[in-house]
Amino acid sequence: MWKGRFSQDTDEAVQKFTQSLDMDWRMALADIRGSIAHVRMLGHTGLLSEEEASVIEKNLCLIAEEVRNGALVPKVSLEDVHMNIESRLIELCGPTGAKLHMGRSRNDQANTTVRLWLRKELLDIWDGLNDLISSLLKKAEEHAETVVPGYTHLQQAQPISMGQFWMAHAHAFLRDAKRLFDAYDAVDESPLGCGALAGSTLPLDREFTCNDLGFSSVTGNSMDTVAHRDHFMDVLYFAAVFGGHVSRLSEDLIIYFSTEFGWVKLPDSFCTGSSIMPQKKNPDVLEILRGKAGQLNGALMDLLTMTKGIPLTYNRDLQDDKRSLLRTIDCLHGIFSVLPALIREVAVDEEAANRGFRDGLILATDVAEYLVLQGVPFRNAHEKVGRIVRHCLDNDKPLTSLTLQEWQDNIPEVKGDLIPLLSPKRSMERRDTLGGTSPAQVKLQIENISLRLMMFDKEAKEFRERIPEGY
Ligand code: ARG
């Protein structure tokens, strides 16, 4: 392409080293669609005759077909998807094809191509996230009345509804959805017409290509546009935070699934065995999911580090931006291919979960709060109950086995109405503050999150409708 200026062919190792086909060939259809918009604009502004514009568009459609059926095999010597498509076009329609690249640089072209490709990927990722959150909502509904231990410091803390547990994860993923949609907004801008860095002397119509490609707006500064990758960072940041949430959910389930906890049941189809220990049933899927955070964080660090200190504007370092992006997108698709289905299959053994309540100490806060309602200052109540806890531990007695007499010997403010409150189920049901763990509150959360999920999905549908056909 630059044979005019050069007297030597590019070294073969250099060709291999500098190519980006291994990343951008999968965006070939998006690239062609971007070129079609460019050609339509050139026709619209009179830079191409109607005849020329239509010849180029027809041949680009032909090339799209060749890409789809695998007939067009890209050449590494042509460096990237953009030059491979353009070169094929020139092969097909000669001097007319050679007019395609007027008013355009690969700097704004590559930028456009990735954005076009990425918009669709992000909407597919939304579908996965929607599926995941929906599976959590369903589980929460199923388990709204199921009482299990809640932990802080991985020590038994207070009884909770298993529905509250699922909803805790659903809330985290819903915040991820917000970040995903913010990233989509950042991606959904049209760079086409920025040229190499400074715009063009030709009378390009950027609004035209923007509308033809269904972008929400044109970018504001040609130099900034070809130089920055903030929109990728937004995507990678969403993914990194999401990866942390996936990791935590996986770890929770791995712990509850362990022999020692033993109250979460995973189906055989989501576990694997051991090559030596016949008894083993390992939560490998969850472990792999837990580890994915590493790749997702790594991709974000990769791009943040790579872009630091690059001067304005386009520099070839930026070509590798796609590597971290693709790794992340593929990793996310992998997560969504198993996690929602796994959640749907998880069962909870409430009886096994409740075995952990045998000493009754998980109800200690309930007693302290009971005393507060009898007029005891909380700090005194805490101490009184602390002493009872020690009494129970010293005498190996469950808190729930104490008689009214024993209670009153230690804490005179206790009355008969305390005794019926001392069950994990009652305890869970009575935590009825907004956002709390009572089944009523869990159901309220399910309603709220379902509504917000529907609103996000409606927005995603509107985005999808704005994406043009043909790629
Ligand atoms: N293959 C390059 C990329 O993916 C295209 C842009 C090349 N621009 C340049 N000035 N060499 O970013």
Are residues 332 and 410 part of one domain? no
How far is 35 from 95, CA to CA, in rounded Å? 16
Q: Give the containing element (helix H, strand E) for 265.
A: strand 264-265
Are residues 90 and 144 part of one domain? no
Mean pLDDT of the chain: 97
Convert the pLDDT of each residue in 349-382 to its tens digit: 999 999 989 899 999 999 999 999 999 999 999 9
Residue 316, ligand 1, Cβ within 6 A: yes
For the chain, give the longest Cα–Cα distance: 102
pLDDT attached to residue 330: 98
- CA separation (Å) from 153 to 150, 157, 171, 244, 364? 10, 9, 21, 18, 17
pLDDT attached to residue 400: 95
Q: What is the mean pLDDT of residues 465-471?
A: 94
Convert the pLDDT of each residue in 284-339 to its tens digit: 999 999 999 999 999 999 999 999 999 999 999 999 999 999 999 999 999 999 99
Of 102, 124, 139, at which residue does a domain stop?
102
**In-domain check, residue 429:** no
**In-domain check, residue 78:** yes
Residue 104, ligand 1, Cβ within 6 A: no
Tokens 């009971």 sit on residue: 370
Per-residue pLDDT band at 123 (split at 50, 70, 90): very high
**In-domain check, residue 287:** yes
**Catalytic residue chosen out of the listed positions 274, 333, 337, 401:** 274
Are residues 457 and 367 part of one domain? no
**In-domain check, residue 123:** yes
pLDDT attached to residue 306: 96
Query: Residue 272 carries which DSSP code?
Result: B
How far is 190 from 109, CA to CA, in rounded Å? 10
**In-domain check, residue 44:** yes
pLDDT attached to residue 9: 86
Q: What is the mean pLDDT of residues 141-162?
A: 97
Are residues 126 and 50 part of one domain? no
Contact status, residue 259 vs residue 352, Cβ threshold 8 Å: no
Are residues 411 and 341 part of one domain? no
Residue 115, ligand 1, Cβ within 6 A: no
- Residue 411 in this model has a pLDDT that exceeds 90: yes
Are residues 261 and 176 part of one domain? yes
Convert the pLDDT of each residue in 99-112 to its tens digit: 999 999 999 999 99
Per-residue pLDDT band at 4 (split at 50, 70, 90): confident
Of residues 109, 93, 108, 18, the one with CA closest to residue 61: 93
Contact status, residue 137 vs residue 446, Cβ threshold 8 Å: yes
Are residues 341 and 367 part of one domain? no
Tokens describing residue 350: 């409430």
Are residues 247 and 169 part of one domain? yes
Going by alpha carbons, the residue nearest to atom 7 of ligand 1 is: 106
Of 102, 132, 147, at which residue does a domain stop?
102
The more confident residue out of 10 and 58 is 58
- Residue 429 in this model has a pLDDT that exceeds 90: yes
Catalytic (active site) residue 153: yes
Convert the pLDDT of each residue in 124-140 to its tens digit: 999 999 999 999 999 99
CATH number, residue 62? 1.10.275.10
Are residues 139 and 65 part of one domain? no
Q: Which residues, in sequence order, are CB contacts of 383 under 8 Å at separation 6+?
A: none
Convert the pLDDT of each residue in 289-300 to its tens digit: 999 999 999 999
In which domain, by residue range, is 392 found?
Answer: 361-421
Q: What is the mean pLDDT of residues 229-242?
A: 98
Of residues 282, 280, 287, the one with CA closest to residue 250: 287
How far is 258 from 254, CA to CA, in rounded Å? 6
pLDDT attached to residue 224: 98
Q: Which atom of ligand 1 is nearest to the CA of 23?
A: 4
Tally the domains of the chain: 3
DSSP string, 288-320: HHHHHHHHHHHHHHHHHHHHTTPPSS--GGGGG
Are residues 251 and 159 part of one domain? yes
Residue 285, ligand 1, Cβ within 6 A: no
Q: What is the mean pLDDT of residues 255-268?
A: 96
C-alpha angle 363-366-369 in degrees, rounded to nearest 5: 155
Q: Which atom of ligand 1 is nearest to the CA of 79?
A: 1
Q: Is the dihedral of CA 375, 377, 380, 382 positive or negative?
A: positive
pLDDT attached to residue 310: 97
Catalytic (active site) residue 274: yes
pLDDT attached to residue 5: 83
Q: Give the containing element (helix H, strand E) for 348.
A: strand 347-348
CATH number, residue 164? 1.20.200.10
DSSP string, 73-102: ---GGG-SHHHHHHHHHHHHHHHHHTTTTT
CATH number, residue 398? 1.10.40.30
**In-domain check, residue 212:** no
Ligand 1: which of 84, 87, 107, 232 to mutate, most ligand atoms within 8 Å of CB? 107
Residue 107, ligand 1, Cβ within 6 A: yes
- Residue 3 in this model has a pLDDT that exceeds 80: no
Q: 79 alpha carbon to ligand 1 midpoint, in Å?
A: 9
**In-domain check, residue 111:** yes
Are residues 113 and 143 part of one domain? yes
Q: What is the mean pLDDT of residues 442-446?
A: 98
Per-residue pLDDT band at 60 (split at 50, 70, 90): very high
**In-domain check, residue 76:** yes
Per-residue pLDDT band at 56 (split at 50, 70, 90): very high
pTM: 0.96
Are residues 23 and 171 part of one domain? no
Q: Which atom of ligand 1 is nearest to the CA of 19?
A: 1
Ligand 1: which of 2, 23, 106 to mutate, most ligand atoms within 8 Å of CB? 106
pLDDT attached to residue 451: 98
Ligand 1: which of 80, 85, 101, 112 to mutate, most ligand atoms within 8 Å of CB? 80
Of 45, 78, 102, at which residue does a domain stop?
102
Query: Residue 202 carries which DSSP code?
Result: S
